[in-house]
Amino acid sequence: MQKLGMIGWRGMVGSVLMDRMQSEGDFSFVDPYFFSTSQVGQKGPILNGKTTNDLLDAYDIDALKEMDIIITCQGGDYTNSVYKKLMESGFKGYWIDAASALRMESNAVIILDPVNKDVIDNALNSGIKTYVGGNCTVSLMLMALAGLFKQDLIEWVSSSTYQAASGAGAKNMRELLVQMGALYNCVESELKDSHSNVLDIEKKVRMCMNDDTFPTDNFTAPLAGSVLPWIDKEMENGQSKEEWKGMSETNKILGLAPATIPVDGNCVRISSLRCHSQSLTIKLKKDVAVSDIESIIKEQNDWVRVIENKKDVTLDKLTPAYVSGKLEVPIGRIRKMMMGPQYLSAFTVGDQLLWGAAEPLRRMLRLLVA
């Protein structure tokens, strides 16, 4: 049995990955070894009622080199500090990574097998050993729109995102909840009085969220009661790094040349806890009937769901509250826009910890071992 090294398994992506791997029986195909960057020597996780190895040192190149396959959800700093050393040490195994650090390397493939199994198969046949999960919003957009991309119907896409706090990590999700609690606490007594003036309440909330003591260590600004229209670093062209990933990763995942299909838009952090949503404006290469578009979308993979463009079902099935924890990727609000018959509007929601992070990693493992 091949030896699998698991790194970053107790983080947010790692925990979702562990759940999914246990649900799908993935560990029965491998001999797993668990590593840590901070808890070396402590007890590993319990799998199917059995204890695993005491945690190995995730920076120990000799221990990592023993593995046939490594999955890491530890983050880009870890990848940057270990990957090159491990490769130079003569590691011959497969490296599967959730972090963005290696995505655009020429010897790495971005994995999203319902969309680019052909690209992955070609890479496996040509001996590529590095496989990296895509940016969460890009992967979720492609899970929803791949049918249209594959039929070469898309001239360009503009995506405005509504990204959950958990996309920024565990600490940020906690901070959002603490911010929400602080806002409630500052007007708790006024809310209990049904005669209190709502604009006085708003003023008190506004003063609370702009006070120096308001908890913003992680987001650096209030998110509860607000939105943050910048995610990741600044690029020289005025995009945020998150916005830059839209075009570069979409084209790489689809196996196209870097700038074949333009993808751009604003990426915005909002106060949902889990699930990224996206409002899409799509310029089609030709006029295609909405009913045909819906058929093309829903036939592409087993997880995409077309939601009828009606209010009730949209508010029921096209929200983070409904989609969180589910593998299905709904897309709705599909309609032609006033700009003309080649302009399509749509809205999609997906769990960024599942198809946006953990699921492509475990499915890549299964391509290697079963």
Piece of the chain touching ligand NAP by CB under 6 A; list 287-295, 314-322, 332-340, 348-356: 348-356
Choice from 98, 143, 144, 254 touching ligand NAP (CB under 6 A): 98
Q: Work out whether 39 is an interface residue with ligand NAP (CB under 6 A).
A: yes
- 359: enclosing H helix or E strand: helix 359-369
- 275 in active site: no
Examine the residue annotation and report whether 136 is marked as an active-site residue of this protein.
yes
To ligand NAP, the closest distance from the beta carbon of 123 in angstroms equals: 20
Assess 36 for contact with ligand NAP (CB under 6 A): yes
Is the Cβ of residue 36 or residue 239 nearer to ligand NAP in the bound state? Answer: 36
Q: 2, 3, 10, 230: which one contacts ligand NAP (CB under 6 A)?
A: 10
Does 282 bind ligand NAP (CB under 6 A)? Our answer is no
* Smallest separation (angstroms) from ligand NAP to the CB of 352: 4
Which residue number places its CB atom closest to ligand NAP?
11
Strand partners, 233: none
Query: Are 242 and 103 within 8 A, CB to CB?
Result: no
If the CB atoms of residues 132 and 153 are measured against ligand NAP, the closer one turns out to be 132
353 binds ligand NAP (CB under 6 A): yes
Question: How many CA within 13 A on the CB side of residue 12?
Answer: 21
Decide: residue 153, CB within 10 A, 0-12 exposed, 13-18 middle, 19+ buried. Answer: buried
Instruction: Select from 35-43, 174-182, 188-196, 300-308 the region that touches ligand NAP (CB under 6 A).
Output: 35-43
User: Measured from the CB atom, is 37 or 151 closer to ligand NAP?
Assistant: 37
Q: What is the DSSP string of 5-35?
A: EEESTTSHHHHHHHHHHHHTTGGGGEEEEEE
Q: Does position 218 bind ligand NAP by CB under 6 A? A: no
Three-state DSSP at 284 gives strand
Regarding 38 and contact with ligand NAP (CB under 6 A), the answer is: yes
Closest by CA to 296, choosing from 119, 139, 152, 120, is: 152
CA atoms lying within 13 Å on the CB side of residue 270: 14
User: In 3-state terms, what secondary structure has residue 360?
Assistant: helix
Q: How far is Cα 34 from Cα 5, in angstroms, rounded to an integer?
A: 6
Query: CA triplet 361, 138, 126: central angle to 5 degrees?
Result: 50
Structure tokens at 5: 């090294």
Lay out the site mask for ligand NAP across 152-191 (x = CB under 6 A, - = otherwise). Answer: --------------xx-xx---------------------
Kind and range of the H or E run holding 320: helix 320-323
Assigned token pair, 85? 């050393």
Residues 61-80 that bind ligand NAP (CB under 6 A): 73-76
Q: Which position among 356, 359, 360, 361 is part of the footprint of ligand NAP (CB under 6 A)?
A: 356
Shortest CB 122 distance to ligand NAP, Å: 24
* Neighbouring C-alpha atoms within 13 Å toward the C-beta of 234: 2
What positions carry a catalytic annotation?
136, 276
- Residues interacting with ligand NAP, by CB under 6 A? 8, 10-14, 36-39, 58, 73-76, 98-99, 136, 166-167, 169-170, 352-353, 356-357
